[in-house]
Amino acid sequence: MNSETRKTYIRRRQNQLRNAPIDGQVLKFLIGAGLSWLRTNQEIVNALNVYPVPDGDTGINMVLTMQAAYDEIANSPESNFGKMIHAVAHGALMGARGNSGVILSQIWRGVARAADNIEVLDGPTLVAAFCEARDTAYQGVVRPVEGTILTVAKDIAKAAEESLAETEDPISILERVIKEADESVERTPDLLDVLKKAGVVDAGGKGLFYILEGMLRFINGESLDIPLAKVQPLSKMVLEDTYETIEPGQDFEVVVDFRPHGSLDLRKFYDGLEQIGTSIQVGEGDGLYRMHIHVEKDRRYEPIDFTMSLGTITKVAIENLIEQMEQIERESGKGKLNLSPVEPGNIAVIAVSPGSGISRVFASLGVAGIVEGGQTMNPSTEDILDAFEDLPTDKVIVLPNNKNIIMAAKSAADITVKNVAVIPSRTIPQGLAAMFRLNPQGDFEEIVAEMNAAIDEIETGEVTTATRSVEIDGVSVKEGETIGLLNGKLVTSARSLKEACSKLIEKADPDQFELLTLFYGEDVTKQDANQIADAIRAAYPHLEIELQDGGQPHYQFIISFE
């Protein structure tokens, strides 16, 4: 089916949906629509980051989770709604990334429970599905926090129940639910003080709203490619993540900078681009516009010609996405780590690592597997499961080493027959401290207990660049400043990297420690790292300072205090 035939088919299905029974095939279209609308608005969701640190990846995590859910059903001919929604839930679980993705997968799991083996979705079943989704999501979180996606799930379940007094039409119920989801998201700052201080709504709740709204927009024949938000500033355009998952027909990435001849009709511009390709983004700054799009190979020059008809082009960039992905795959095979072999019956440890240098340290301490991941690149449940499922032992320990990966690790542990313990390490230093307690031949329960104790005996410092201006925990931060976090809490902001490191160490009360290990990131030169390490040695002569090439992105330094 070519692109034009597919578009005609989709339009026909849209026209039929108002009166058509919602079976498994209709569900496929709705899941695809929710994914498309979420992807269109994923940068809006990413930007709803409370802390000024570079982990605004809720939009990306939810998109990748939904993509995995859709991939599970994309080629399925199943017409039974219940069987199809179970496949959606399974795909979401395996592809779940970050806390938001795991909770989203639990929401789909609840829907599947309520609609088990239902041929066609009706209103009462939809209401029951929203209620079961709420219950399953809450049960999956140890300490539920209100003002999050959980609250939105709760509010829409209540709205669905109340709607049954007026209608049993599932689409009418969906309309009522979406209205409540929108209002619930807007109320989240009133329930969670940290959201109010940052001036944002909950990102996960907003993502859930977009998924549901996308379904209704598809039913109503509305566009799923044009975000409702205004054109974004050039400085906020994030193009690096747009080829994390390359869809069929996305062979080339085209970016065009241009100055329009007159006033640019953004709606018509988007409409024109929509006929050419996908993954459309438009940014503006000082009268200069930047257009980003993914297109098929044979259409790679069409965005340029189209833009040229509207303005004067100042710069063009064309990238072969398929070649980029192949290059990444080729390079990922280089410099493989010497991981510890696993003997049957021994304990195997899987560690999540954000950088090549940190991975080498974990390998030297005896891990059996490394999963790449960290801030802005959370691995999926399936990624973690794959790391240990084929190992010749049923005794496995997982070190997530990031607060946003713990839930995915626990999901992986829940769906395997192996005995898997997830140590709730929230930082790299905590994970490394746990590794020092490893004895592969030791008693599993004792090693797990020792590792859990070890992560509480170490403190972690992190130095990064502020992604937004905000005041949190009494610290005023301006976007672009260098900030320091101690055990995840913002403690300082400075104008230079050296100053931020100095202030952070001072806040940590260095007199109580003997050893500081500094892991410098990929954007810090060894010379600069040595200079900062020397300054710390001079200021604190009683401390032993170790410097390691961590290779992690986003964070100039990760510091272990021992």
Tens-place pLDDT, residues 288-335: 888 888 888 888 899 999 999 999 999 888 888 766 666 555 554 445
| CATH 3.30.70.260 boundaries in the chain | 232-328
Q: What kind of fold does domain 232-328 have according to CATH?
A: Alpha-Beta Plaits (3.30.70)
| pLDDT single digits (tens) 20-58 | 789 999 999 999 999 999 998 888 888 887 767 766 678
Give residue 151's pLDDT band: very low, low, confident or very high (50, 70, 90).
very high
Domain(s) labelled CATH 3.30.1180 in the chain stretch across 459-561
Say if residue 238's pLDDT is above 80.
Answer: no
- Taking only the tens place, the pLDDT of each residue in 392-441 is 999 999 999 999 999 999 999 999 999 999 999 999 999 999 999 999 99
Distant-in-sequence, close-in-space partners of 433: CB < 8 Å, separation ≥ 6:
454, 455, 457, 458, 560, 562
pLDDT at 244: 45
pLDDT at 251: 77
Instruction: Give 59's pLDDT tier (boundaries 50, 70, 90).
Output: confident
- From the options 2.40.50.140, 2.60.40.1120, 1.10.15.40, 1.25.40.340, give the CATH code of 3-219: 1.25.40.340
Q: Which CATH class is domain 459-561?
A: alpha beta
- The top-level CATH class assigned to 335-454 is alpha beta
Q: What per-residue confidence (pLDDT) applies to 420?
A: 95
Statement: residue 163 has pLDDT above 70: yes
Residue ranges of the chain that CATH labels 1.25.40.340: 3-219
Mean of the per-residue pLDDT values for the chain? 87
Q: How does pLDDT run across 543-556, given as a tens digit for each residue?
A: 999 999 999 988 99
In this predicted model, what pLDDT tens digit does every residue of 325-358 receive, in sequence order?
665 555 544 456 788 889 999 999 999 999 889 9
Q: % helix / strand / coil in the chain, to the nearest 5?
A: 50, 20, 30
- pLDDT score at 242: 45
- What pLDDT sits at residue 467? 82
Mean pLDDT confidence for 64-91 = 94
pTM: 0.77
What is the rounded CA–CA span in Å between residue 349 and residue 368?
5
**What is each CA distance from 419 to 284, 346, 366, in whole angstroms?**
53, 12, 19
- So what's the pLDDT on residue 280? 77
| Burial annotation 53-73 (CB, 10 A radius, 16+ → b, else e) | bbbbbbbbbbbbbbbbbbebb
- Per-residue pLDDT for 460 more than 70? yes
Distance of alpha carbon 515 from alpha carbon 507, whole angstroms? 16
